[in-house]
A = this chain, B = another copy of it.
Amino acid sequence: MKDNNDMPGHLARRFQQIAVAVFLAEVGEAGFDLTPVQYAALATIKANPGLDQITLAGLIAYDRTTITGVVDRLVQKGLAERRASRRDRRARELVITDEGSRTLRKITPAVESAQAIMLRGLSSKEGEELMRLLRKAIAAGNELSRAPMRDAQAQDR
Protein backbone atom coordinates (compact mmCIF):
# COMPACT_ATOMS: atom_id res chain seq x y z
CA MET A 1 0.00 0.00 0.00
CA LYS A 2 1.47 3.27 -1.13
CA ASP A 3 1.94 5.70 1.69
CA ASN A 4 1.36 9.42 1.49
CA ASN A 5 5.07 9.85 2.05
CA ASP A 6 5.78 8.19 -1.26
CA MET A 7 3.73 10.78 -3.10
CA PRO A 8 5.70 13.74 -4.43
CA GLY A 9 2.50 15.78 -4.41
CA HIS A 10 1.96 15.19 -0.72
CA LEU A 11 5.59 15.97 0.09
CA ALA A 12 5.34 19.14 -1.95
CA ARG A 13 2.31 20.31 0.01
CA ARG A 14 4.00 19.54 3.29
CA PHE A 15 7.24 21.29 2.46
CA GLN A 16 5.39 24.32 1.23
CA GLN A 17 3.31 24.40 4.38
CA ILE A 18 6.47 24.50 6.47
CA ALA A 19 8.08 27.07 4.18
CA VAL A 20 5.15 29.45 4.57
CA ALA A 21 5.02 29.03 8.34
CA VAL A 22 8.75 29.70 8.67
CA PHE A 23 8.56 32.74 6.43
CA LEU A 24 5.67 34.27 8.37
CA ALA A 25 7.36 33.55 11.70
CA GLU A 26 10.70 35.11 10.71
CA VAL A 27 9.18 38.12 9.03
CA GLY A 28 6.70 38.60 11.85
CA GLU A 29 9.44 38.51 14.46
CA ALA A 30 11.27 41.18 12.51
CA GLY A 31 8.17 43.33 12.93
CA PHE A 32 6.71 43.10 9.43
CA ASP A 33 3.38 41.88 8.17
CA LEU A 34 4.03 40.51 4.69
CA THR A 35 3.21 37.10 3.23
CA PRO A 36 5.58 35.13 0.98
CA VAL A 37 3.34 35.88 -1.95
CA GLN A 38 3.27 39.59 -1.21
CA TYR A 39 7.03 39.63 -0.75
CA ALA A 40 7.70 37.98 -4.11
CA ALA A 41 5.31 40.36 -5.84
CA LEU A 42 6.84 43.41 -4.20
CA ALA A 43 10.40 42.36 -5.00
CA THR A 44 9.41 41.75 -8.61
CA ILE A 45 7.71 45.13 -8.91
CA LYS A 46 10.87 46.77 -7.60
CA ALA A 47 13.00 44.92 -10.14
CA ASN A 48 10.65 45.74 -13.03
CA PRO A 49 9.16 49.16 -12.37
CA GLY A 50 6.09 50.00 -14.40
CA LEU A 51 5.22 46.44 -15.34
CA ASP A 52 1.57 45.50 -15.76
CA GLN A 53 -0.22 42.89 -13.68
CA ILE A 54 -0.16 40.16 -16.31
CA THR A 55 3.58 40.50 -16.68
CA LEU A 56 4.00 40.44 -12.92
CA ALA A 57 1.85 37.32 -12.70
CA GLY A 58 3.95 35.65 -15.41
CA LEU A 59 7.26 36.47 -13.76
CA ILE A 60 6.32 34.81 -10.50
CA ALA A 61 3.84 32.28 -11.88
CA TYR A 62 0.74 33.51 -10.11
CA ASP A 63 -2.69 33.12 -11.51
CA ARG A 64 -3.95 36.36 -13.04
CA THR A 65 -7.01 36.36 -10.81
CA THR A 66 -4.86 35.96 -7.72
CA ILE A 67 -2.62 38.89 -8.56
CA THR A 68 -5.50 41.34 -8.33
CA GLY A 69 -6.01 40.67 -4.63
CA VAL A 70 -2.29 40.55 -3.87
CA VAL A 71 -1.72 43.94 -5.49
CA ASP A 72 -4.81 45.26 -3.70
CA ARG A 73 -3.19 44.42 -0.39
CA LEU A 74 0.21 45.85 -1.35
CA VAL A 75 -1.49 49.07 -2.37
CA GLN A 76 -3.59 49.14 0.77
CA LYS A 77 -0.43 48.80 2.87
CA GLY A 78 1.15 51.67 0.98
CA LEU A 79 3.96 49.52 -0.44
CA ALA A 80 3.05 49.79 -4.12
CA GLU A 81 1.01 51.95 -6.47
CA ARG A 82 -1.28 51.12 -9.34
CA ARG A 83 -1.35 53.63 -12.18
CA ALA A 84 -3.29 53.69 -15.40
CA SER A 85 -0.99 53.00 -18.34
CA ARG A 86 -0.88 55.54 -21.12
CA ARG A 87 0.37 52.96 -23.57
CA ASP A 88 -2.59 50.60 -23.04
CA ARG A 89 -5.61 51.87 -21.24
CA ARG A 90 -6.62 48.39 -20.13
CA ALA A 91 -3.40 47.93 -18.21
CA ARG A 92 -2.28 49.09 -14.79
CA GLU A 93 1.36 50.00 -14.32
CA LEU A 94 2.80 48.95 -10.98
CA VAL A 95 5.51 50.80 -9.11
CA ILE A 96 6.97 50.38 -5.67
CA THR A 97 6.68 53.25 -3.18
CA ASP A 98 9.50 54.58 -1.02
CA GLU A 99 7.87 52.86 1.89
CA GLY A 100 7.85 49.64 -0.15
CA SER A 101 11.55 49.95 -0.93
CA ARG A 102 12.34 50.62 2.68
CA THR A 103 10.33 47.61 3.78
CA LEU A 104 12.02 45.36 1.23
CA ARG A 105 15.43 46.44 2.38
CA LYS A 106 14.72 45.98 6.06
CA ILE A 107 12.98 42.67 5.61
CA THR A 108 15.78 40.99 3.68
CA PRO A 109 17.63 39.46 6.64
CA ALA A 110 14.42 37.85 7.91
CA VAL A 111 13.68 36.43 4.46
CA GLU A 112 17.16 34.98 4.13
CA SER A 113 16.96 33.53 7.59
CA ALA A 114 13.65 31.90 6.70
CA GLN A 115 15.17 30.27 3.62
CA ALA A 116 17.94 28.85 5.78
CA ILE A 117 15.58 27.55 8.44
CA MET A 118 13.36 25.66 6.01
CA LEU A 119 16.46 23.80 4.82
CA ARG A 120 17.94 23.26 8.26
CA GLY A 121 17.60 19.49 8.04
CA LEU A 122 19.83 19.37 4.97
CA SER A 123 23.53 19.90 4.45
CA SER A 124 24.31 22.84 2.22
CA LYS A 125 25.11 20.43 -0.59
CA GLU A 126 21.77 18.72 -0.11
CA GLY A 127 19.99 22.05 -0.03
CA GLU A 128 21.57 22.96 -3.36
CA GLU A 129 20.61 19.62 -4.80
CA LEU A 130 17.01 19.98 -3.61
CA MET A 131 16.76 23.36 -5.29
CA ARG A 132 18.31 22.02 -8.48
CA LEU A 133 15.83 19.14 -8.64
CA LEU A 134 12.88 21.40 -7.89
CA ARG A 135 13.95 23.81 -10.63
CA LYS A 136 14.30 20.94 -13.08
CA ALA A 137 10.92 19.41 -12.24
CA ILE A 138 9.29 22.82 -12.39
CA ALA A 139 10.81 23.61 -15.77
CA ALA A 140 9.41 20.39 -17.19
CA GLY A 141 5.98 21.01 -15.70
CA ASN A 142 5.79 24.73 -16.30
CA GLU A 143 2.98 24.55 -18.82
CA LEU A 144 0.87 22.18 -16.76
CA SER A 145 -0.56 24.76 -14.37
CA ARG A 146 -2.86 27.59 -15.27
CA ALA A 147 -0.21 30.06 -14.16
CA PRO A 148 3.01 29.14 -15.95
CA MET A 149 6.10 31.23 -15.57
CA ARG A 150 6.67 33.74 -18.37
CA ASP A 151 9.63 35.97 -19.13
CA ALA A 152 8.98 39.67 -19.32
CA GLN A 153 8.30 40.83 -22.85
CA ALA A 154 9.81 44.03 -24.13
CA GLN A 155 7.23 46.65 -23.33
CA ASP A 156 8.11 49.12 -26.10
CA ARG A 157 6.73 47.36 -29.14
Contact = CB atoms under 8 A, between A and B. Distances in A.
Interface of A: 1-2, 4-23, 25, 36-37, 40, 43-44, 47, 60-61, 111-112, 114-115, 117-122, 126-127, 129-131, 133-142, 144-147, 149
Contacts of A61: 14, 17
Contact of A138 (B18, B60, B117, B137): B18
Contacts of A111: 7
A37 to B, nearest CB: 8
A136 B9 CA distance: 15
Q: For the complex, would chain A's binding face be called helix, strand, loop or mixed by DSSP majority?
A: helix
Contact of A17 (B6, B10, B25, B147): B147
A4 B133 contact: no
A6 B139 CA distance: 14
Contacts of A25: 144
Q: Which 8 A-B pairs have the closest CB atoms?
A: A121-B140, A21-B145, A18-B141, A9-B19, A11-B134, A130-B133, A12-B16, A16-B16
A115 B7 contact: yes
A14 B115 contact: no
Contacts of A15: 12, 16, 134, 137-138, 141
Contacts of A114: 9
Contacts of A121: 136-141
